[in-house]
Amino acid sequence: MWFDSHCHLHLCAEGESPGEVVERARLAGTMEMLTVGIDLDSSRVAVEIASLDGVYAAVGIHPNSADSWNAAAEADLRELATSDNVVAIGESGLDLYRDTVPLPRQQEAFSAHIAMAKDLGKTLVIHTRESMDEALDQLRVEGPPLGLIFHCWSGSETHLRVALDLGAFISFAGNTSFKSAEDLRSIARLVPDDRILVETDSPFLTPVPHRGKPNEPRHLPFVGVAVADARSVPVKGLAQSTRANTRRAFALST
């Protein structure tokens, strides 16, 4: 009984309905999921998909799309964020790997997402890629919202301590299962039991043994197995604790 804390159902469902993807997930044990917008159009679609049972939405503009950020986009996003079943703002953050958008533009959009999460009492879902120092610095300066998730964790042990001090939840994706990811698994061992989440980030980062194929929420149990093995805990217990943590992270009833 898993909760996928981060997926992109609008991308997973190409050529079929999101409901079919959700049904396959449920049959595999992924009972709840957060579908995440990456720009205004996909955020609108996420809100529509979140009408499905057990599906919630995050609305936001990804840092790689931050060049579209302006006052009109902020107003549209704020309106979307008040929709039913929208439980988070994001994904937002900073990306210095694909540096197509200048860092100051990314920081401007990230700052606005931080403020919006605070204003609306929503959890903030953060993207970081080769930008953990910069993202943490910005959060420390501006102050984090009450709810904070670092999705697809990629930081060091030092970064982890700072993120936890900010009150963040830490989410691990399918790359935790990769043979080359021992450093990531070592970090997964250090996250407190009440702060750890799991996700697919589907359709990306497909876990072993399905690596090389499109990812979707039905593969979340394989992520869970990798994280449970890294932490030397029972898979069933990890499923229960991460689902409870995710519901708490999004201020859902338990």
Residue 58 resides in a domain: yes
Boundaries of domain holding 149: 2-249
Give the pTM: 0.97
In whole angstroms, give the CA distance from residue 251 to residue 208. 31
In whole angstroms, give the CA distance from residue 45 to residue 47. 5
CATH of the domain at 233: 3.20.20.140
The DSSP symbol for 176 reads: G
Tens-binned pLDDT, residue by residue, of the chain (254 aa): 999 999 999 999 888 999 999 999 999 999 999 999 999 999 999 999 999 999 999 999 999 999 999 999 999 999 999 999 999 999 999 999 987 899 999 999 999 999 999 999 999 999 999 999 999 999 999 999 999 999 999 999 999 999 999 999 999 999 999 999 999 999 999 999 999 999 999 999 999 999 999 999 999 999 999 999 999 999 999 999 999 999 999 999 86
The domain total for the chain is: 1
Residue 199 resides in a domain: yes
The DSSP symbol for 206 reads: P
The DSSP symbol for 160 reads: H
In sequence order, what DSSP letters do the residues of 63-83 get, joined into one string? Answer: GGGGGG-SHHHHHHHHHHHTS
Whether 68 and 77 have beta carbons less than 8 Å apart is answered as no
Residue 17 resides in a domain: yes
Residue 60 resides in a domain: yes
Strands, E assignment, 109-198: 123-129, 148-150, 169-172, 196-198
